[in-house]
Amino acid sequence: MSLLPPSLTRLIENFQRLPGVGPKTAQRLAFYLLHVPEEELQKFADNLTNLKKSTVLCTMCRNVSEKDPCQICVNTSRDQSIICVVEQPTDVLSIEKTGMFKGMYHVLHGSLDPLNNIGPDELYINDLLKRITPNVTEIILAVNPNMEGEATAMYINQQIQQLTVNSLPLTVKITRLAHGLPVGGDIEYADSVTLTRALEGRREY
Ligand code: ZN
C-alpha cells in the first residue's frame, strides 16, 4: 500500500505523463507544489482548466490560437503564396522571432514516427494538401533536422507531387531549410541568427 495520500499519488501520475518527466521529477514537482501558497496554486489550476477552453486550433493553419482563424491567417499583409510547414506551434514562435518570414504557416503537430504509431493521419497533412491551390507558389518544409523530420518531409513532398489541377500536375516549389541547423536538434531551440540563415539559404527539395 502506498504511504502517500491518493491525491498526491494522482498528481505524481499526472506529471509523469508529461514529456521528459520521469518518476523522480514527477515526485519532486508534486512535493514542491505542496509548499506553494494556496492562491498561487489556484492560479496554476485555473490556467490548466482554461487551457483547452480558451484556445482553439486555427482551422486554416492548425496553430494554437485564441481566435479562429488565427491572427497570422487573417493578416492580409502577409504573403498568402508561401506556406511554411512546421512540426509544432513553438516553431512558429521561433520563426516569427527572426522577423524575416512574412508568409503563412501550417502546423503539423508532430512528425512521422512509425515506432510510436504516428502516421500521416495523426498529423495535419491532409489539411495542408487542401491548402495548396494554384495561388501557392512555395512550400517551405521547415521540419526538424532529424530522422522523423526527414521522413515527414519526404512523405509530404511525395503527396504534393501527386496534386493536380484540371488533371495537370500542380507546379509548386518545395524548399527545405538550409543546413546549418544542428542535425538532430529542434528548430524551436535554434537561435534567430541560425534560423534566419537557414531560411535565407533554403534550397529546392
Ligand atoms: Zn491560422
Instruction: Give the per-residue pLDDT at 180.
Output: 67
109 alpha carbon – ligand 1 mean position (Å): 13
**Worst-scoring range by mean pLDDT, 10-14, 65-69, 78-82, 174-178?**
174-178
140 alpha carbon – ligand 1 mean position (Å): 16
- For residue 197 the three cell numbers come to 540563415
**CA 116 to CA 12: how far, in whole Å?**
24
Mapping DSSP onto H, E and C, the string for 80-106 reads EEEEEEECCHHHHHHHHHHCCCCEEEE
Q: Are 114 and 147 in contact (CB under 8 A)?
A: no
Q: What is the mean pLDDT of residues 131-140?
A: 95
86 alpha carbon – ligand 1 mean position (Å): 13
What single-letter amino acid sits at 120?
P
Instruction: Collect residues with CB below 5 Å from ion ligand 1.
Output: 58, 60-61, 63, 69-70, 73
34 alpha carbon – ligand 1 mean position (Å): 39
Query: What percentage of the chain carries pLDDT values higher than 70?
Result: 96
Q: Which pTM value belongs to this model?
A: 0.79
Q: What is the mean pLDDT of residues 138-163?
A: 94
Q: Are 64 and 105 in contact (CB under 8 A)?
A: no
User: Which residue has cell 539559404?
Assistant: 201
**CA 18 to CA 100: how far, in whole Å?**
33
12 alpha carbon – ligand 1 mean position (Å): 35
135 alpha carbon – ligand 1 mean position (Å): 17
**pLDDT 10s digits, 22-33:** 999 999 999 999
**pLDDT 10s digits, 37-93:** 999 999 999 999 988 888 999 999 999 999 999 999 999 999 999 999 999 999 999
Which residue would you say has higher pLDDT here, 36 or 182?
36
22 alpha carbon – ligand 1 mean position (Å): 34
107 alpha carbon – ligand 1 mean position (Å): 9
Buried b (16+ CB within 10 A) or exposed e, 48-74: eeeeeeeeebbebbbbbbeeeebebbe
Instruction: Give the per-residue pLDDT at 185.
Output: 67
With a cut of 60, say whether residue 1 has pLDDT above it: no
